[in-house]
């Protein structure tokens, strides 16, 4: 903040403006302090989660496991890249209709909604930073996010069965 050099104006500033300047400074400091964690969360890379290996026929996927509600709400947010055979598996104890959106996700993804036995129920391509929702066609306990086009390039369609530790046979 800049102070005016004229004595009369400076005296008036001391009487009337000092409180405003102090209040504005405290307000800006409070806002900055309140927004700092949010800005950090949006810019900091997300930590990697524990992984499992999933097989899609002859193709191997290293999938991070999003198990807790917090892990699932963060998902792939703010990540700028992912490996060619890397993904994220959202794991739930029970089957339910699962819906996803991409508001703070920067990488285009394809999602497979997966039944308990590893059967892909339906697939969807999702665009970065979009609020459009993509839901499972039936109740499922799993959703697998991969780079957009990963399933299509391998001709993996609904009905295909994934295998690995998370899925019951």
Tens-digit pLDDT profile for residues 94-119: 999 999 999 999 999 999 999 999 99
Residue 156 — φ and ψ, nearest 5°?
Answer: -90, 120
Considering the domain architecture, whether residues 68 and 130 belong to the same structural domain is answered as yes
Question: Whole-model pTM above 0.75?
Answer: no
Local structure of residue 116 (DSSP, 8 states):
T
Instruction: Answer yes or no: is pLDDT of 152 > 80.
Output: yes
Q: For the chain, what percentages of helix, strand and coil (3-state, to nearest 5) are there?
A: 30, 30, 40
Q: Where are the beta strands (DSSP E) in 43-114?
A: 51-56, 59-66, 86-96, 99-100, 109-114
**Ranked by mean pLDDT, which of 8-12, 34-38, 85-89 comes out on top?**
85-89
Give the domain range for residue 31. 1-44
What pLDDT, on the 0 to 100 scale, is given for residue 169? 73
pLDDT confidence band for 85 (50 / 70 / 90): very high
Considering the domain architecture, whether residues 67 and 147 belong to the same structural domain is answered as yes
Considering the domain architecture, whether residues 99 and 77 belong to the same structural domain is answered as yes
Interval 17-32 mean pLDDT: 35
Q: Pick the closest to residue 136 from 100, 108, 160, 91 (CA basis).
A: 100
Q: Is residue 162 part of a domain?
A: no
The more confident residue out of 75 and 15 is: 75
What pLDDT, on the 0 to 100 scale, is given for residue 23? 33
What pLDDT, on the 0 to 100 scale, is given for residue 45? 58
**Domain total in the chain:** 2
* 34 three-class SS: helix
Instruction: Answer yes or no: is pLDDT of 5 > 90.
Output: no
Q: Is residue 164 part of a domain?
A: no
Interval 30-42 mean pLDDT: 40
């Amino acid at each position: 903040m800049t102070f005016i050099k004229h004595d009369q104006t400076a005296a008036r500033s001391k009487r009337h403006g000092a409180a405003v300047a102090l209040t504005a400074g405290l307000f800006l400091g409070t806002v900055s302090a309140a927004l700092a964690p949010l800005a950090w969360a949006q810019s900091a890379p997300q930590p990697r989660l524990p992984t499992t290996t999933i097989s899609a026929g002859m193709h191997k996927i290293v999938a991070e496991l999003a198990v807790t509600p917090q892990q699932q709400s963060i998902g792939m947010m703010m990540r700028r890249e992912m490996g060619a055979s890397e993904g994220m598996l959202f794991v739930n104890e029970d089957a339910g209709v699962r819906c996803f959106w991409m508001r703070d996700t920067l990488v285009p993804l394809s999602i497979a909604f997966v039944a308990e036995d590893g059967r892909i129920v339906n697939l969807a391509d999702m665009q970065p930073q979009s609020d459009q929702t993509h839901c499972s066609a039936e109740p499922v306990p799993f959703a697998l996010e991969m780079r957009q086009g990963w399933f299509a390039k391998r001709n993996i369609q609904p009905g295909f069965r994934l295998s690995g530790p998370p899925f019951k046979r």
